[in-house]
C-alpha cells in the first residue's frame, strides 16, 4: 500500500498590503530675494578721515568693529575746493597738491588699518563741501550701513565736521551716525569695539 506524504506547505508571508501613492511634495512659493540678500551682506562702515587725532580714534574704532562683525570699511577724505578763480594755474596747482596729500593720508591710514585688522579698506577722495560730499558718498555707494566720525575733545572743539553734522546732517541720514570721542585711549577703543 502506498501512503502519500503530505507536501510541505510554503509560507509566502502575510498578504501584501496595497501601496498607497505618496502625496505630492508641496513647495513654498518663492520669496523675494532682496531682503534675504540684504540680511546676508556685510556691514560696511564709512569713516571720515583727516589728519586729526580724533579722526584716527574714529578709524581705530570702526576698523576693530568691522573686523569683529565681519564687515567692510571705507575711508573718505574730503578736499575742500580751491577759491582762486582769477588765478587758475595757481588754483590747479593747489588742488593737485591737496589731492596728493589726501592720497598719501588715505594710503597711510589704510596701511594702519590693514596692520591692525587685516582688512583692506576702500579709499575715496571727494572734492566739495564736507556735508554734501558725505551724503553724496553714502548715496553713491549704496552699501554704507554706518557713518563713523571722531569728535574733538571739548577743549579743542574746532572740528567743522561735527558742528555741521550736529546742525544738519544727522536729520538727513538714513543710517546710524557713530560719533567717537577723540580722547579715548586705544585700550578703551579696543574694549568698546
* Mean pLDDT, rounded, of the chain: 79
Dist. CA 163–CA 171, nearest whole Å: 13
High-pLDDT (> 70) share of the chain, %: 68
Q: 3.30.1360.120, 3.30.70.100, 3.40.50.620, 3.20.20.70: which CATH number matches 43-192?
A: 3.40.50.620
- Confidence at residue 167, expressed as pLDDT on a 0 to 100 scale: 63
pLDDT digits (tens, 9 = 90+) for 55-89: 999 999 999 999 999 999 999 999 988 776 666 67
Residues β-bridged to residue 148: 47, 178
Q: Residue 33: is its pLDDT beyond 90?
A: no
Long-range CB contacts (within 8 A, 24+) of 87-96: 95/127
Please report the pLDDT score of residue 60 as a whole number.
Answer: 97
Grid cell at residue 185: 585711549
Q: What confidence category does residue 173 fall into, taking pLDDT thresholds of 50, 70 and 90?
A: confident
> Per-residue pLDDT tens for 111-169?
999 999 999 999 999 999 888 899 999 999 989 999 999 888 766 655 555 666 666 66
Domain boundaries, the chain: 43-192
Using CA atoms, how far apart are residues 66 and 193, in angstroms rounded to an integer?
Answer: 9
Measuring CA to CA, which residue among 135, 109, 132, 110 is closest to residue 121?
110
Amino acid at each position: 500500500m502506498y501512503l502519500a506524504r503530505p507536501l510541505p506547505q510554503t509560507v509566502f508571508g502575510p498578504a501584501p498590503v496595497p501601496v498607497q501613492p505618496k502625496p505630492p511634495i508641496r513647495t513654498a512659493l518663492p520669496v523675494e530675494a532682496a531682503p534675504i540678500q540684504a540680511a546676508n551682506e556685510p556691514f560696511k562702515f564709512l569713516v571720515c578721515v583727516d589728519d586729526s587725532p580724533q579722526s584716527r580714534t574714529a578709524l581705530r574704532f570702526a576698523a576693530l568693529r568691522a573686523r569683529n562683525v565681519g564687515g567692510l570699511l571705507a575711508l573718505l577724505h574730503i578736499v575742500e575746493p580751491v577759491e582762486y578763480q582769477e588765478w587758475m594755474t595757481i588754483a590747479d596747482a593747489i588742488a593737485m597738491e591737496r589731492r596728493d596729500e589726501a592720497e598719501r593720508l588715505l594710503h597711510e591710514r589704510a596701511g594702519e588699518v590693514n596692520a591692525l585688522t587685516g582688512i583692506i579698506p576702500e579709499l575715496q577722495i571727494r572734492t566739495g563741501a564736507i556735508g554734501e560730499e558725505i551724503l553724496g558718498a553714502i548715496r553713491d555707494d549704496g552699501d554704507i550701513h554706518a557713518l563713523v566720525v571722531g569728535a574733538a575733545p571739548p577743549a579743542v572743539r574746532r572740528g567743522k565736521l561735527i558742528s555741521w553734522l550736529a546742525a544738519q546732517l544727522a536729520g538727513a541720514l538714513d543710517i546710524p551716525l557713530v560719533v567717537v570721542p577723540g580722547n579715548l585711549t586705544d585700550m578703551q577703543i579696543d574694549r568698546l569695539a
